Amino acid sequence: MFKFNKAAQQQRIDNRNSAVTGHDPFVRPPVPEKKVRNIMKKLHKANGLKRSNSAIEFDVSALTAANRRQIYSRPNIKYQYSALDSGNGIVERSPRERAQREKALNATQEWIQGANGRYEVIAHLDEIGSRHGKNWFLVTDASVRTDRLQTLLPLPPDCVAFEDLPPNECAREILMELLGSLHHPYIYPVLDLGFLRNSSYNYACLVTPFNSRGSLKDLIYKAQWNEPWARKYTRKPNGLPVSQVQRLGRQILEALLFLKERGFPLHGHLHSGNVILQNGAARLSGLENGLLGLSSRINAVMWSRSVTEIENVDIVCFGHLLYEMCTGQELTTPKPSMRVLEMELQHYPQIGQTRKQILEILGLIFEPPSGVCPSVEDLVLCDLFRSIDLRELRGPCFSTIKPSLSRSTLNLLQAVKKRQCASLGHSLSEANSPCTPPSTPHDRRTGVLPAPYEVFRMY
Q: How far apart are CA 285 and CA 215, in angstroms?
A: 10
Which residues does 126 contact at the CB level (< 8 Å), separation at least 6? 80, 90, 91, 136, 226, 227, 228, 229
Residues 170 and 55 in one domain: no
**Residue that is last in its domain, among 44, 73, 102:** 73
Residues 182 and 45 in one domain: no
Which residues does 295 contact at the CB level (< 8 Å), separation at least 6? 156
In a domain, 408, yes or no: yes
In a domain, 327, yes or no: yes
| First-residue to last-residue Cα distance in the chain | 45
Residues 327 and 380 in one domain: yes
Residues 60 and 89 in one domain: no
Which residues does 40 contact at the CB level (< 8 Å), separation at least 6? 57
Is-contact 261 249, C-beta < 8 A?
no
**Residue that is last in its domain, among 13, 42, 73:** 73
Q: Looking at this protein, which amino acid is placed at residue 456?
A: F
The pLDDT value given to residue 291? 85
Per-residue pLDDT of the chain (459 residues; tens, 9 = 90+): 556 666 666 666 555 554 445 556 666 555 566 665 676 666 556 555 444 444 444 454 454 545 544 444 443 444 444 443 433 345 678 888 899 999 999 999 999 988 877 999 999 999 998 788 899 999 999 988 899 999 999 887 767 656 656 555 688 888 999 998 999 999 999 999 998 887 677 899 999 999 988 999 999 999 999 999 888 898 888 889 999 999 999 999 999 999 999 989 888 889 999 999 998 899 999 999 888 878 776 655 555 454 445 678 899 899 999 999 998 888 888 888 877 787 777 766 555 678 889 989 999 998 888 888 899 999 999 999 998 989 888 877 777 788 888 888 888 888 888 877 766 554 444 444 333 333 333 343 333 333 333 333 333
The pLDDT value given to residue 28? 58
Residues 389 and 427 in one domain: yes
What CATH number does the domain containing 140 carry? 1.10.510.10
Q: How far apart are CA 138 and CA 233, in angstroms?
A: 22
Long-range contacts of 164-169 (CB under 8 A, 24+ apart): 164/411, 164/412, 164/415, 164/416, 164/419, 165/408, 165/412, 166/408, 169/408
Which residues does 157 contact at the CB level (< 8 Å), separation at least 6? 202
In a domain, 449, yes or no: no
In a domain, 12, yes or no: no
CA distances from 324 to 152, 245, 250, 320, 362 (A): 28, 10, 15, 6, 12
The pLDDT value given to residue 130? 78
Residues 356 and 308 in one domain: yes
Residues 63 and 150 in one domain: no
Q: Looking at this protein, which amino acid is placed at residue 242?
A: V
Q: Which of 455, 432, 452, 139 is nearest to 319 (CA)?
A: 455
Number of domains in the chain: 2
In a domain, 457, yes or no: no
Residues 53 and 87 in one domain: no
The pLDDT value given to residue 42? 65
In a domain, 308, yes or no: yes
In a domain, 116, yes or no: yes
**Residue that is last in its domain, among 47, 73, 99:** 73
The pLDDT value given to residue 446? 38
Report the half-sphere exposure of 404 (CA within 13 A, side-chain side).
Answer: 4
In a domain, 214, yes or no: yes
**Measured CA angle at 284 (ends 241, 319), to 5 deg:** 55
Which residues does 148 contact at the CB level (< 8 Å), separation at least 6? 22, 119, 138, 139, 140, 141, 191, 207, 208, 209, 210
Q: Looking at this protein, which amino acid is placed at residue 165?
A: L
Torsion of CA 35, 37, 40, 41, to 10 degrees: -110
Backbone angles phi, psi at 139, to 5 degrees: -125, 160
Residues 36 and 101 in one domain: no
Q: Which of 21, 353, 369 is nearest to 180 (CA)?
A: 21
Q: Which of 390, 393, 385 is nearest to 242 (CA)?
A: 385
Residues 51 and 127 in one domain: no
Q: How far apart are CA 181 and CA 412, in angstroms?
A: 14
Residues 61 and 185 in one domain: no
Which residues does 382 contact at the CB level (< 8 Å), separation at least 6? 357, 360, 361, 364
Residue 39 belongs to domain spanning: 32-73
pLDDT in tens, 378-407: 999 999 999 898 988 887 777 778 888 888
The pLDDT value given to residue 124? 95
Residues 66 and 87 in one domain: no
Instruction: Provide the residue count of the chain.
Output: 459
